[in-house]
Amino acid sequence: MPLFEYRCRDCGTKFERIVTSSAVEVVCKNCDSPRVDKLWSVFAVAGVARSTASFEPGPCGACGARRRGMCGE
């Protein structure tokens, strides 16, 4: 089920709501106003690497450092 974050334009309350359909009208949980804005949310995924290649020593290539862990030095 998709979970979305909203902010009420009338009272400023931020809240989350599970929305099962685009036809569902979302109203503020504090003041029941239908004047709400959907906020951008950060989506995070945690998991296990499928390859050991990412754990091998050596430059990762992201910043050009000589070794891993030396970014910005």
**pLDDT beyond 60 at 71:** yes
Whether residue 34 is contained in a domain is answered as yes
Give pTM, 2 decimals. 0.53
What's residue 45's pLDDT?
Answer: 58
| Partners of 36 in beta bridges | 8
Whether residue 4 is contained in a domain is answered as yes
Q: What are 15-53's pLDDT values in tens digits? A: 998 888 777 889 999 999 999 999 986 665 566 555 544
Whether residue 26 is contained in a domain is answered as yes
Whether residue 65 is contained in a domain is answered as no
Whether residue 23 is contained in a domain is answered as yes
Q: Look at the chain and report how many structural domains it folds into.
A: 1
Who wins on pLDDT, 9 or 40? 9
Please report, for residues 6, 49, 52, the alpha-carbon distance to residue 63 in angstroms, rounded to integers and kept in the order given: 36, 21, 21
**Alpha carbon distance 7, 14 (integer Å):** 4
What's residue 59's pLDDT?
Answer: 52
Domain with 4, as residue range(s), is 1-41
User: The domain spanning residue 34 has which CATH number?
Assistant: 2.20.28
